[in-house]
Amino acid sequence: MYSKILIANRGEIAIRIIRACKEMGISTVAVYSQADEESIHAALADESYCIGSASAADSYLNQERILSAALASGAQAIHPGYGFLSENAQFAALCAQHQIAFIGPTPEMMECLGDKAQAKEKMAAAGLQVIPGSRKIQSLQEAEETAKELGFPMMLKACAGGGGKGIRLIREEAELPHAYTAACGEAKAAFDDGSVYMERYIPSARHVELQILADEFGHVVCLGDRDCSIQRNNQKLIEESPSPAVSEKQRQALIRQVTDEVREIGYTGLGTLEFLVDPAGNFYFMEMNVRLQVEHTVTEVLTGIDLVKWQIRVASGIPLNFEQSQVDLRGCAIECRINALAPGTVRFLHVAGGPFVRFDTDLMTGSKVTPFYDALLGKLIIYAGSREEALRKMKAALCELVIEGVPNNIEKQLEIVDSEAFMRGTYDLTFFPSRQ
């Protein structure tokens, strides 16, 4: 087991990882930008290093500065969290060159699966049904030729990263040039990789993902499914587990299939296989995220399994101590992402409480929310024995949560949870019109 880990991230996820490390007896090293000098994650860690200006390119995406901080601190491993460098195979390889463990899959596996276009090819070869699409697109001319083959409407997506960055729905040919330039630029700024690919658009689809955990001894478990279909501008807003759109028969079949495929390709660590489900109930593999998901908390409260701790254990060579039959998927868990609508300073904060209510955040009274990074303020997560009770609990928790001084989406989340489509579990990706 590692004795010191550097967390190459910020905000609530950095705090989440620091807490897990403290509970495991592991010393922590934080890195922060000048904009985050007074952040909680920098204060909570045993050591902290400033790695640059507010720009992500100069700080949280700066591989050399992060690695220098790891070497200076004597950290044995780097945990990337999500976003930033979490799916960067070049950074993982650079860590290996300096005998620092990267908490995630191998650089080679990241290279293969982190590129979403390549991942689709690999999973199709392994037996999963995939959405028809292209390989990596090298130019606008190639994009135009590919679009004619696929037909409109179609999707343009970043090969690297996640979080809804670098994604565009293109309804007709005239929209393609601007969408291509915008998607490439957005992907480059977010992930330092501007490559994109294309795939056919599936109307009225659900977005369902399955969480897997695999060790280096061939043990693979699936920790259930999550429904992430409530999205706005390709950004997930609400996740719940289990998905109300998946029958128990479908769920068990999917669990068997994904564990077999993950074992077959030799994957190790935490990962998420994402699917689109059409109205007829057909599942199409979309991508595999080879990192910790923002919504990992939903699975944690449903199963009682600490994903961050197991991610660290597996990376250090410790085998899983439980089997698929021991994974308890009873009850219902829901997460609402609380986002800032504009920069501001938190004047007052009241966090919802009660049994099985969790709020992951880096906010405190006086916190400044800047425009430099993701708008996520925190994640409100609840668990209950049934979906009906979970809905009531989430409404109560949203009513209790107060963040003054920073415009936010708490009221909008309450409106969504109280909507007929969400209450009935019949929502899909068209809940919000595209680019609204």
How many CB atoms are located within 10 Å of the residue 32 CB? 24
Confidence check: pLDDT of 233 > 90: no
High-pLDDT (> 70) share of the chain, %: 99
Cα atoms found within 13 Å of the Cα of residue 380, Cβ hemisphere only: 29
For residue 139 the two structure tokens come to 């130019």
Residue 211 and residue 162 share a domain: no
pTM of this structure: 0.91
Lowest average pLDDT, out of 13-17, 74-78, 169-173, 414-418, goes to 169-173
C-alpha count within 13 angstroms, C-beta hemisphere, residue 116: 32
Domain presence at residue 153: yes
Check residue 187 and give its pLDDT: 86
In Å, what is the CA distance from 203 to each residue of 57, 155, 171, 284, 285?
36, 11, 12, 13, 15
The pLDDT, as a whole number, for residue 434 is: 61
Q: Which band of pLDDT confidence, cut at 50, 70 and 90, is reported for residue 436? A: very low
Last residue of a domain, one of 155, 175, 200: 200
> How many other CB atoms sit within 10 Å of the CB of residue 229?
27
What is the sign of the dihedral through the CA atoms of 250, 251, 255 and 258?
positive
Q: What is the CATH number of the domain that holds 295?
A: 3.30.470.20
Q: What is the mean pLDDT of residues 354-367?
A: 97
What pLDDT is recorded for position 435?
A: 47
Residues 265 and 388 in one domain: yes
Per-residue pLDDT tens over the stretch 264-319: 999 999 999 999 999 999 999 988 999 999 999 999 999 999 999 999 999 999 99
131: helix, coil or strand?
coil
pLDDT at 402 (0 to 100): 98
Q: What confidence score (pLDDT) does residue 161 get?
A: 64
For residue 203, give the amino acid letter: P
**Positions marked catalytic:** 291
- 274 plus 305 within the same structural domain: yes
324: helix, strand or coil: helix
What number of residues does the chain have?
A: 436
Residues 268 and 369 in one domain: yes
165 part of a folded domain: yes
**Tens-place pLDDT, residues 383-393:** 999 999 999 99
99 shares a domain with 143:
no
The sign of the CA dihedral 266, 272, 278, 282 is positive
pLDDT value at residue 131 = 86
Structural domain for 182, as ranges: 132-200
